[in-house]
Amino acid sequence: MSDLTQQIAEFLEQLIEHRHLPVSLWPQDAGSHEQYGLRCVDGSIVLGADLEVLEASAVQANLSATVADWLQQLDVYRALGSTNAYLMDRAQQGSVDGWICLADLQIQGRGRRGRRWMSPFAQNLAMSLGITVGASPATLGGLSLAVGLAAVDCLDSMGVRNVQLKWPNDLLLAGGKLGGILLELVSAAKVQVVIGIGLNLELSEVVRGEVDQVVADLSSHGYRVSRNVLAGKLASSIVDYVRQFERGGFAPMREAYEAHHAFQGRPCRIVSGHDEVIGVVVGVSETGALILETGTGRRSFVSGDVSLREAN
């Protein structure tokens, strides 16, 4: 953890204790407190009465019995650079199987293709899991799609309806990006991966202005969920889907994925660098590749460094 991140974490601990602190105490090198989702009133940074911070015991209380047995370590930080980077760093020292990391504020969150992932304080869920997957590395293309289904299933169980998926790593709500998934391979020998997921619960206008795409959050659509409950249930759902993936691969999940895919049957573009392919999304393959019907026939695309966009 960098010195600046540590300073921010210490400030947040004091803020949680006192509920308001003079804005002058905010670390000078951290930039504007507003970009982290913190609100200033009459010269003080204040916390809303309904703001919920993450607590390890509350998260653990909402894990399924199976995942509670699987869990080896649960870390909760007030501020962290990136939950994925944290576990990837720990993986250099040994196995991270059974490890969950959460942060109330993620300062250097990463999305797919190196994009920045905004994660304002206590208004988002930023979580990473380390898990050993009993499958071939060659089949992992479908794993991020399985994790997307796990998130949809979890949110639906908590009353959040109509969440859709965008191949290969995004969750959408009413057309805006609600969340994203980032998988990183730790070891091909044991097929150990770090699964990162971020979900927007509530975004201020300042934070929305920092994002270069249409975003969505649960609060704006009338959904109020406990972050601790969501963290425990989502971790449980992800591990459950990973175990299903181990047993049968992505193929048994293919139909469910297509039913939730926002671009199913729609004209889209696949963009890779300066190259572009236009066609209609037919579906996904048994290994998680996107199938596009083009003017020259059907083509399949693996996630890699390509981007799916709606055709203009």
Q: What is the DSSP letter of 135?
A: S
Specify which residues 75 forms β-bridges with: 101
Amino acid letter for position 306: V
CA 168, CA 302: separation in Å to the nearest integer?
Answer: 9
| CA nearest neighbour of 249 among 257, 241, 239 | 241
309 is catalytic: yes
Only one residue has tokens 């293919």, namely 254
The structure tokens listed for 44 are 């003080």
Find the catalytic residue in 112, 208, 269, 299: 112
Find the catalytic residue in 177, 227, 233, 254: 177
Q: Alpha helices, DSSP H only, in 65-114?
A: 65-70, 83-91
Long-range CB contacts (within 8 A, 24+) of 48-55: 51/122, 52/122, 52/226, 52/227, 52/228, 53/16, 53/78, 53/104, 53/122, 53/227, 54/102, 54/103, 54/104, 54/122, 54/227, 54/228, 54/231, 55/228
Catalytic annotation, residues: 112, 177, 309
